Amino acid sequence: METVTLTPKEQSELYIDAENITPDTFAGKSAAEIAELQVFEGNQTQTLGQYFEVAGTAGATAEETKIVIKGDVTKVKYIGMRMTGGEIVVEGSADMYVGAWMEGGRIHVQGNVDSFSGTGMKGGEIEVDGNAGNYLGAAYRGDWRGMQAGTIRVHGDAGSDLGTFMNGGTIIVEGDVDVHVGTHAEGGTIIVKGNGTSKIGGQMVKGEIYVFGTIDVMMPGYIYREDVDLEVDGDSARFALFEGDMGERHSKRKGQVIYGKIYQKY
């Protein structure tokens, strides 16, 4: 795999839209050609080279291309958007929409990410060493298609509205989460190793949410069914199984009604 290194220059005055920072766009290009790719600061069209020192060589394909961003890019949006392969490593924190609608490959952010990371994600892997903002793996506002496949792992905490309209894939948060987890979900798996606040699984039709810590207020539309012993993300434990949301429509499989499931660890 060939590596392209981006070293941030001075911070921009406004936030930068940089959806061209993907292995797909960099593949087959020289460092000079990559530096000439368009980015946007406000309503002004600029080049990537105005904000980053570009070094190294891209591979012939996305799968053969690794991008290393050496430093904080907290004012850079859309890193890895719609990427289909390859790898991106951010040696710091990043702004919103990291890995939005990505279809393959891997993104590793060694700091924090802001809101809407992994929104509409269709495949691949995102790992965040720090914290994530709101709407992790959720649908874009006004859309009903959240995360569909792939894996997101956050080693710290995550904000509100995680997994809204989620249809598939797996989100693992090793810390705490804020309100509205898995709202309107129709599939997928959410694992919270820390604590959750209220409105977990609200209007969830299908899918599974595992909470290892406390839940401040269980949604009234969920009914306790039984205790189950499970292995979840490498941890074996006993969980209380709740099914719901009873106020929602639910399909059937082989004559059995399918409910969303919340598992809370004892």
Render 170-238 in DSSP notation, one character per residue.
Answer: EEEESS-B-S-BSTT-EEEEEEESS-B-S-BTTT--EEEEEESS-BSS--TT-EEEEEEEEEETTEEEE
Q: What is the pLDDT of residues 5-37, one digit of tens each?
A: 999 997 888 999 999 999 999 999 999 999 999
3-state secondary structure of 240: strand
Query: What's the Cα-to-Cα distance from 210 to each of 52, 107, 193, 231, 239, rounded to whole Å?
Result: 41, 24, 8, 11, 8
> What pLDDT band is residue 202 in, cutting at 50, 70 and 90?
very high
Q: What is the pLDDT of residues 98-131, one digit of tens each?
A: 999 999 999 999 999 999 999 999 999 999 999 9
Query: 133 Cβ partners below 8 Å, 6+ apart?
Result: 96, 112, 113, 114, 115, 116, 117, 158, 159
Would the pTM of this model clear 0.85, i.e. be above it? Answer: yes
**What token pair was written down for 48?**
């990537």
Return the percent helix, strand and coil in the chain, to nearest 5.
Answer: 5, 40, 55
Task: Write out the H or E segment, with its range, that includes residue 2.
Answer: strand 2-8
- What pLDDT shows up at residue 247? 85
**What token pair was written down for 26?**
């960099």
